[in-house]
């Protein structure tokens, strides 16, 4: 594509100039917007925000369901030079108010149905933000209507806040129970977008899915890689995104060519999506990230959808994608271990270190640390946590992923588990993910999640949470016997709890925090 814009919103301007009438964003069955229209609508919001005093160095909160309105809102905030802070539209007002107050937003874009609850929870606030209330959202009409309620603001130039300015702050759940804001710059975002566009050979006629919500880092790919290429993105809203049979039809009818989501939704699609009832000739890539894809489920998916290429992407919000691996097809029936996370992205550098921060030898396990332009600048307002998140090495800042990996002889990295998911039981190191992988071999087990809880007598107690295929009860003895065929005795779960389905977070990952709560 050549001369890459320094600002994340530069891709939109370029595509609006080159392909003004091409569809930029689709709300399936409801509405779509061209690049020219999206550029204009976000310009109008930019002008309004600038008139309200918003500019570089400030943050703007967004509480709008995933629609053309929220896409235009995000772009308007960037064009004003500010950083956007999207909150989970389905989260309680208390949590969203915490986030918006924590990062001291100067302005807020809120759909009217969330307004009163948010005002109540925000309470008295030292610097009252400017409110832009959308009477509805969908098709861009809500944002246009909100802007039309005031006399038009004078046109202002699009800001170029520089590559080190924040582009967005994404809040992830913190270990302390309070969400923490991951701060990412234009440089970090554009480095990731351009790596993605090149690696996945993105084309103008591609149609991307947007499954992840905008407060989740997968959305950075969904939003900006299509803009980079002048391609189209199809928004899958909160409800639609969870309904597997409808999703299969959408992928076919909307001619999605690049799909990107967490593995859990792909598992649902493989199991309940009735994939066989449609054709997917446009689908050429399936990308997944966010958690380990159990091989049995991935195989079931790839058997039904054998044509696209499959990529395992890995990376925390703090770095976005930092390793990738193409899954070779077909997947042999006997394979049970998950696929590697692959190689460190070409624009980044990785090092695997031991507990003293010294690099390990190849084949030894250690924590993966990553350096390069993708990295966050830190956690909003949390200087100590920020300091702990990085490793200084060779005058370079490495992000400590907290993930334990081992480098295979062929140079690919294998994910072994979260450093904090490795517990000691009776002196033995136990990787909870390994127990999960074992449980997934059981033909009756559909979902498995293992947690370690403090135990006054044994030090640590290992609990397996399971959902079975038939919903039938699984005997504890039978489960333990099954585990004893695959695991050393100290890794066998102490207790088994059955669920109809495992609890999930708003980003479709297994909600471990909930599983650790006393029932």
Partner 1 sequence: MSLTRSTEETLKQFILKEFLPGEDPNELEETTPLVSTGILDSLATLKLVTFLEDEFGISVAPHEADEEHLNTITSIANLVHSKRGR
Contacting residues toward partner 1, per CB under 8 A: 426, 457-458, 473, 475-478, 480-481, 483-484, 489-490, 492-494
In the complex, minimum distance from the CB of residue 481 to partner 1, in angstroms, rounded to a whole number: 5
Distance CA(328)–CA(311), nearest Å, equals: 9
Residue 344 or 464: the one with the smaller Cβ distance to partner 1 is 464
Q: How far is the CB of 497 from partner 1 (least distance, A)?
A: 10
Least Å distance, CB 491 to partner 1, is 8
Q: Rounded to the nearest whole angstrom, what is the least distance from the CB of residue 303 to partner 1 in the complex? A: 33
CB of 425 to partner 1, least distance (A): 9
Composition of the chain by helix, strand, coil, percent to 5: 30, 30, 40
- Residue 232: count other Cβ atoms within 10 Å of its Cβ: 25
- Which of 125, 490 has the CB closer to partner 1? 490
Q: Residue 458 CB, nearest distance to partner 1 (Å)?
A: 6
Q: Which is nearer to partner 1, 395 or 519 (by Cβ)?
A: 519
Tokens of 4: 């890459």
The residue (of 127 and 457) whose beta carbon lies closer to partner 1 is 457
Q: Exposed/middle/buried for 177, CB within 10 Å: 0-12, 13-18, 19+?
A: exposed
For the beta carbon of residue 436, count every other beta carbon within 10 angstroms: 24
Q: Taking the complex as a whole, how short is the minimal distance between the CB of residue 330 and partner 1, in angstroms?
A: 35
Q: State the nearest-atom distance from the C-beta of 295 to partner 1, in Å.
A: 25
Of 406 and 487, nearer to partner 1 (C-beta) is 487
Burial class (CB in 10 A: 0-12, 13-18, 19+), 291: middle
Nearer to partner 1, 29 or 456 (CB): 456
Q: Closer to partner 1 at the Cβ: 298 or 483?
A: 483
Neighbours of 89 (CB within 10 A): 23
Burial of 360 (0-12, 13-18, 19+ CB in 10 A): middle
d(CA 249, CA 254) in angstroms, rounded, equals 8
**Which 3 state secondary structure label does DSSP give 372?**
coil
Contact assessment for residue 38 and residue 22, using Cβ atoms and an 8 Å cutoff: no
Q: How far is the CB of 365 from partner 1 (least distance, A)?
A: 25
Query: Residue 347: left (phi > 0), alpha (psi -120 to 50), or beta?
Result: alpha
Alpha helices in 28-105 (DSSP H): 35-51, 68-79, 93-102
**Cα-Cα-Cα-Cα dihedral sign, residues 411, 413, 416, 421:** positive
Closer by beta carbon to partner 1, 387 or else 478: 478
Tokens of 501: 């389905």
Shortest distance in whole angstroms from residue 213 CB to partner 1: 37
Helix 35-51 vs helix 10-18: crossing angle, to nearest 10: 140
The Cα 436–Cα 479 span in angstroms is 12
Nearest CB to partner 1, comparing residues 290 and 493: 493
158 vs 479, beta carbon nearer partner 1: 479
């Amino acid at each position: 594509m050549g001369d890459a814009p320094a600002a994340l919103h530069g891709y939109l301007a370029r595509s609006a100039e080159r392909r003004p009438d091409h569809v930029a964003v689709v709300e399936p069955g409801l509405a779509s917007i061209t690049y020219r229209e999206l550029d204009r609508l976000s310009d109008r919001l930019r002008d309004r925000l600038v008139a309200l005093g918003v500019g570089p160095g400030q943050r703007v909160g967004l509480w709008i369901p995933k629609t053309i309105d929220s896409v235009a809102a995000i772009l308007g905030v960037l064009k004003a030079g500010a950083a956007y802070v999207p909150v989970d539209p389905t989260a309680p007002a208390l949590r969203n108010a915490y986030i918006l107050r924590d990062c001291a937003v100067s302005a807020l874009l809120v759909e009217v149905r969330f307004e009163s609850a948010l005002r109540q929870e925000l309470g008295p606030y030292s610097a009252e933000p400017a409110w832009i209330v959308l009477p509805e959202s969908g098709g861009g009409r809500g944002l246009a209507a909100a802007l039309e309620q005031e006399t038009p603001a004078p046109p202002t130039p699009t800001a170029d806040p520089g590559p080190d300015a924040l582009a967005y702050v994404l809040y992830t759940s913190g270990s302390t129970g309070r969400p923490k804001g991951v701060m990412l710059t234009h440089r970090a975002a554009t480095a990731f977008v351009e790596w993605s566009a090149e690696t996945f050979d993105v084309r103008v006629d591609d149609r991307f899915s947007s499954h992840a919500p905008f407060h989740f880092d997968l959305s950075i790919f969904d939003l900006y890689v299509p803009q980079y290429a002048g391609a189209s993105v199809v928004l899958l809203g909160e409800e639609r995104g969870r309904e597997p049979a409808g999703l299969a039809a959408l992928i076919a009818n909307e001619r999605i060519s690049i799909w990107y989501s967490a593995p859990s939704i792909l598992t649902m699609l493989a199991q309940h999506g009735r994939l066989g009832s449609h054709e997917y000739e446009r689908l050429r890539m399936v990308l997944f990230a966010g958690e380990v894809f159990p091989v049995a489920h991935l195989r079931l998916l790839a058997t039904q959808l054998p044509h696209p290429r499959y990529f395992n992407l890995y990376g925390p919000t703090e770095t976005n994608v930092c390793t990738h691996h193409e899954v070779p097809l077909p997947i042999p029936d006997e394979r049970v271990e998950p696929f590697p996370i692959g190689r460190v992205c070409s624009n980044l550098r990785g090092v695997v270190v031991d507990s003293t921060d010294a690099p390990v030898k190849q084949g030894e396990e250690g924590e993966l640390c990553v350096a390069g332009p993708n990295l966050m600048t830190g956690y909003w307002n949390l200087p100590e946590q920020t300091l702990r998140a990085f490793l200084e090495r060779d005058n370079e800042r490495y992000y400590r992923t907290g993930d334990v990996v081992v480098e295979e002889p062929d140079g690919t990295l294998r994910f072994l588990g979260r450093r904090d998911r490795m517990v000691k039981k009776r002196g033995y190191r136990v990787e909870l993910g390994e127990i999960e992988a074992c449980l997934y071999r059981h033909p009756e087990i559909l979902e498995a999640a293992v947690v370690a809880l403090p135990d006054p007598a044994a030090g640590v107690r290992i609990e397996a949470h399971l959902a079975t295929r038939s919903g039938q009860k699984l005997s504890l003895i039978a489960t333990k016997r099954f585990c004893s065929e695959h695991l050393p005795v100290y890794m066998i779960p102490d207790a088994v709890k059955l669920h109809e389905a495992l609890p999930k977070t708003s980003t479709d990952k297994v909600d471990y925090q909930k599983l650790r709560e006393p029932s």
